[in-house]
Chains A and B, each alone.
Chain A
């Protein structure tokens, strides 16, 4: 039976995990992810799932146990945040390069130091080259929906890559929202029975070696294969989204365009801040200002062409980054750099500026987002870009 529940983001994902009923979950607690696996462990204890829940001594071990279980042929999940993700670093690459379809929730939290438990995107952005598919969620509903879709994306034979799904720490992870759950049966039949695409370690009739030495003679070829998996992912993500829409009525794409079609200026921003920005867009639209929003959902693989096409008609664009790529051009944020590269290749010659915001959980309020739109209109009037990178909400 379908249910509408009041759930925070972490509980919503825990319910998605319960309905998927994975074979193995290995996890280590870390704020603000903890309540996801804590809630899920209650489902395990109450016999609602048949999952083997492995408690480990660190995130490095959590991901290592996930890799072992996935190589053995299990459907595997985990969740982490911040330093936990950083501690998985080495093994994140191994999960991706062994082509194991592990699904992970990363509840976005700043990386230390100074130590901080609140939201920004530096954890995920740091892991953006690890070979994982990365999907950002605006709210609890999206996180629930994305997590279920992630199983199908990861396990698709043309992809076979691990997927991380993100939502914002505390803002989404701990705020209660209305969440529509599919029925357990619907989720079960959507994800289907897991049939590993490759031979697995427990299949004694088809012996296989995972993780052999791979030197200059074959390593390069295996990396080339990984590119192919990533290249197929975009189409698979859209295919899975279409099927999910038929089931749930909720539409997902590579990104969400909000009042963008006839907009003159727009903001590109990930996750919960996109929700706040929608309210600002509505307010400014009511005043007759042609403003829009583009909220990327899929960050890896980055939908460069589609995004450049969607932005092409605009006269000025502001990207808002909740992390810094230290030492990159102008010390800008990673999202900005991706949007610029997309524009360089696929066209669009409007000015694009970057706003670093919300680091370490610093609040971002509608008035600040409004000020970004004001800046964009000023660029239109004067034809001048004063600053490429602005720190929104930092004390001078």
Chain B
């Protein structure tokens, strides 16, 4: 039986009662390829930030600083649009080995 709340304790009709709750849905587990950025080559154009369908590009002070790996599902769109080709889609298995 999958983990989760019982039928008596969830809103009826499949309603979701809190706004902004999609952040709770961790789509990172879907990822087969992880984006890895070569920070040296990054020009902080933020194309990746505009295109990422999961809002998983982390930006601070108008600088690209990394990926939200809890939500990045590894689609590779960022790597595709990056004008300096500084993002490499790397198989997750390589990180498994690291562990």
The reply to whether B14 and A98 form a contact with Cβ atoms under 8 Å apart is yes
Q: Are B13 and A217 in contact (CB under 8 A)?
A: no
Q: Within the complex, what minimum Cβ distance (angstroms) separates B23 from chain A?
A: 14
Contact A212 B19 (CB under 8 A): no
Q: Is the interface of A mostly helix, strand, loop or mixed?
A: loop
Q: A326 near B: Cβ within 8 Å? A: no
Count residues of chain B with CB under 8 A from any CB of chain A: 16
Do B2 and A225 touch across chains, with their CB atoms under 8 A apart?
no
Nearest CB of A to B62, in Å: 30
Minimum Cβ distance to chain A for residue B16 (Å): 4
Q: For residue B21, give the distance in angstroms from its CB to the closest CB of chain A.
A: 8
8 A Cβ contacts from A281-310 to B: none
Q: A211: CB under 8 A from chain B?
A: yes
CB neighbours (8 Å) of A185 from chain B are none
Main secondary structure of the interface of B (DSSP, over half): loop
Q: Which residues of A contact B21 (CB under 8 A)?
A: 209
Residue from B5, B7, B11, B13 with most neighbouring chain A CB atoms (10 Å)? B13
Check A222 against B14 for contact (C-beta < 8 Å). Answer: yes
A224 at interface (Cβ–Cβ under 8 A)?
yes
B16 touches A212 (CB 8 A): yes
Establish whether residues A225 and B16, one from each chain, have CB atoms under 8 Å apart when the complex forms: no
A238 interface hit (Cβ, 8 Å): no
Residue pair A198, B15 in contact (C-beta under 8 Å): yes
Complex Cα gap A228–B4 (Å)? 19
* List of A residues within 8 angstroms of B5 by Cβ: 221
Chain B 5-35 per-residue mask, 1 if CB under 8 angstroms from chain A, else 0? 1110011111111110100000000000000
Closest Cβ of chain A: how far from B22's Cβ, in Å? 9
The answer to whether B14 and A212 touch across the interface, beta carbons within 8 angstroms, is yes
A214 within 8 A of B: yes
Binding site for A on B (CB under 8 A): 2, 4-7, 10-19, 21
Could you list 5 further interchain pairs (A-B, Cβ under 8 angstroms) beyond the known A198-B11, A207-B19, A216-B2?
A206-B17, A212-B14, A214-B14, A224-B7, A228-B7
7 A-B pairs with CB atoms under 8 Å apart are: A97-B13, A98-B14, A198-B11, A198-B13, A221-B4, A222-B12, A224-B7
In the A-B complex, list the 4 residue pairs whose CB atoms are closest, starting with the nearest: A99-B13, A221-B7, A207-B19, A209-B16
